[in-house]
Structure 1
Amino acid sequence: MVQIPTIQDIEAARRSFEANEPRDLFYRAATELVSLALEGRTSLSVAEALAVLLQTWNKMFYQYRKFDSQHFADIERLISDHYSLLLTFRQRSIEDFNQEDEGKIRSVFKAFEVILGPVGAAKCLHLLAPHFFPLWDRAIAKAYGFPLGKIGTNAERYCRFMRIVKEQVQSLGGEQTIGRNPLKAIDEYNYCKYTKGWI
C-alpha cells in the first residue's frame, strides 16, 4: 500500500535525488523552454521544447521507435488539438482537480498516450500544466496499484493516480508548506523510493 509521505520524506528524497540524478537539469531546461514557447518568447515551438525532455527522460520509449518527422508532427497535432484545454489546466493546481475534470483528462491523456506511451504522456502533460498533472513511470504506477496496460488503456489509471496525488499534496500542506511545486516533489519521492530504491 502506498503511504502518504511526510515533509521529512520529501526532504530526504530531494537530497537523494540531487545526489544521484543528473538529469534534473533537462527537466528544468524543458520546463523553462515550454514556458517560453507558450509565451512566444523563443524560436522553439512547444513540441520542440517538449522534445528536450522526451529525448532524455523517456529514452526507453524510443529504443524501438523513431523520433522522426512524423512523430514530431504527431506531437505538434496533439498540442494544437488540445491547446485551449491544456492552457486552462496550466492555470490550475491539482488541489482543485475534481470529478468533473475526469472525462476531459481521460480524453486528453488517451490522445497523448497513443502517440507517446503512458509515461511520455504524463511527462508531456506535466510540462504543459506542471501544477496540475503529476508524473509517473511504470515502477511508480505499479507501486500505486495501477500496473500499466497496453498503450491507449491507461487513462482511467491516471485519473485514479491523480486522486491519490491530490490527497498527498493536501495532506502535506500544498506548495506553501513544501516550498516548491508539490507534484515535482512527490515525483522525486516516488522515483527515489519506487523506481530506484534509494530511500
Structure 2
Amino acid sequence: MRTLLLTFLLFFFTACTAQSYNYHSQTQTLHFKTDTQSTYNIALEHPKRVYTHDVCTNFSYTLEDNTKNYGALFLEHISLDNDCKYNGLAMGFFTYEFQSHLKLKSFKKVESQSFANYEFTTYEVNGSSYVSFIHQYQALSDTFIIDYKGQLSLELIQQFDKNYVSNYINKTRFNQAYNQSLVRLNIFKNFFNKESEMFQ
C-alpha cells in the first residue's frame, strides 16, 4: 500500500510539473510556466529541431533559432527514463561542454538567479564578452538554453522579479555558435546512465 501511494505521489508530482516548459511545433512557440496561473510564450521564427536518442532518453532534442527579438538561441531538452540518473550536476555538464568545445580561455560566472525550478546564469567569456544560460529542471527532464543576446533571460527573470535589471545585457555579447548535445555525447562521456549500471 505504501509503495502504491509513493508511486501515485511521484506520478502526480511529475504530471503537475511536466508543463513547466513546452515547445509547440505547430505554432513554433516556446511556453514557459512561471507560476500556477501564468505561461510566458515566446514566438520563434525559423526553428530547427533535431531529435536525439540514447538508451536513457525518451523524448529529447536540440532546437536552434535566430529571431529579431531574442537573437540566437540554442536549446537542448532532455527527458530521462524513470530508471536513469545523471552522474553529476546536469547544468555543470552542459556548461563544461560549452566551454570545452568552444575552447574558451576563460569562463567566469558573474551572475546567478534562481526562481522555482529555473536557474539563470551569466558568464564572462575570455574577459571580453558575456553569454547567458537558462536551466529549467523537473523531476525527469532538463531544458538548457544558451541565450546569446540575454533578452530571453531578462524577460523570464522579470516574470519572477519585476524590479530586476541586467548589468550585462548591453555589454558585448559572446556569439560563437554551439550545437553539441549531451545526449549525443553520452555514449562517450557517460553523463547519465541506468541506476543498475551505477553499481556494477
Using the size of structure 1 for normalisation, the TM-score is 0.27
- Select the structure of larger CA radius of gyration: 2
Greater share of residues in helix: 1
Q: How high is the TM-score relative to the length of structure 2?
A: 0.27
Question: Larger RCO: Structure 1 or Structure 2 (Cα < 8 Å, ≥ 6 residues apart)?
Answer: 1
